[in-house]
Amino acid sequence: MKSWLLLPLFISISPQIRNVPEPVVQRPKNIILLIGDGMGLSQVSAGLYANGKKLNIDQFPVTGIMTTHAYRNLVTDSAAGATAFACGCKTKNGVIGLDSKMEKCFSILEDAEAHGLSTGLVASCSITHATPAAFIAHVESRTEHEAIAADILKTDVDLLIGGGLKYFKDRSNDSRNLLNELQDKGYTVSDYEGQPFPALTFSAAKPLVWFGAYEEPLSVTKGRDWLPQAAIKAPVFLKQRSDKGFFLMLEGSQIDWAGHANDANRVVKEMLDFDAVVGKILDFAKEDGQTLVIITADHETGGLALEQGHAHDSLDLTFSSTYHTASLVPVYAYGPGSESFSGVMDNTEIYWKMKALLGF
């Protein structure tokens, strides 16, 4: 039998035998999971050399490497990749918050809610997009934006920042106005037109939703500037919302989109915007002392390579694909429990390690 015939059998197996991390002395009170969508080692390298060989990521003392394959697919998409982080199980590409048998799997955000922690999702895409959706919704297709928005109303998430106003306000599948329903549940609801992010008031007395776009936010190359600001305000807000701790997922979504477009300049700009987020989160974690910060990616996008160039004035970036690749991606960790994230791991292990460290 040829060896390649064994590959589908291998990648269909969820590595449950590796779910439990080694015991650690310290446990975090809070976890912040930072996801650079499409961010492989080449994207990190491009940002590093474009920025004078210096990134905030450099300050993370623990590093690891991670496999990203989906259920029966060597190359994952963001839905299956994020479901692996969120729920700890492999699933089919395109599926949100369901396992490979299409059964509902509870996410780390839902676990945190059940244990009294405050929770938040921040993304530079629609809040109903694949990655944030996997932490809060359960649908068979990532394209079901309105169903994902409706699922959000079934939770008590404390903070939502991202695009996707359309799927709450101007729905085509039903007559519901989810903005009104959010307000009826006690949320402060605002958007980019009514209150630009710099003017947004964060009051911990009420949960908060802020929409940064009707559908998808602009690229940072077109003027989007609020993701690092959200990284400053979100953890402070969530810390005030519960004395038991918090879970926050924050995604730099458009590194991926730049890779799909094979736009080298945009890859670098989005990577540096995400690294600015890393810096703000790291500032919070250093001062707080009880926060574990994890950085990783759902997959690499574009098959990016760094060719000959001058690090301080130009980079020659080339692409081998307009889609995702199966390349391993980096993992970085800082704070209590960070030592659990060294070495080689599978993407499902991110969930199980977080869950164990929070003592759930």
**Coil, helix or strand at residue 282:** helix
Which DSSP helix (H) or strand (E) runs through 294?
strand 291-296
Residue 169 region, left (φ>0) first, then alpha (ψ -120 to 50), else beta?
alpha
Cβ(295)–Cβ(60) below 8 Å: yes
Distance (Å) of CA 131 to CA 91, 127, 162, 206, 307: 14, 8, 12, 25, 30
**Coil, helix or strand at residue 234:** helix
250-288: buried (b, 16+ CB within 10 Å) or exposed (e) per residue?
bbbbbbbbbbbbbbbebbbbbbbbbbbbbebbbebbeeb
Q: Which one is catalytic: 78, 107, 219, 340?
A: 78
Give the residue among 85, 76, 124, 65 at the shortest CA–CA distance from 274: 124
- In sequence order, the β-bridge partners of residue 123 are 251
State the angle between helix axes of 78-87 and 348-357 in degrees (0 to 180), rounded to the nearest 10. 30
156-170: buried (b, 16+ CB within 10 Å) or exposed (e) per residue?
ebbbbbbbbbbbbbe
Cβ(268)–Cβ(276) below 8 Å: no
Instruction: Decide if 3 is catalytic.
Output: no
Catalytically active residues, by annotation: 78
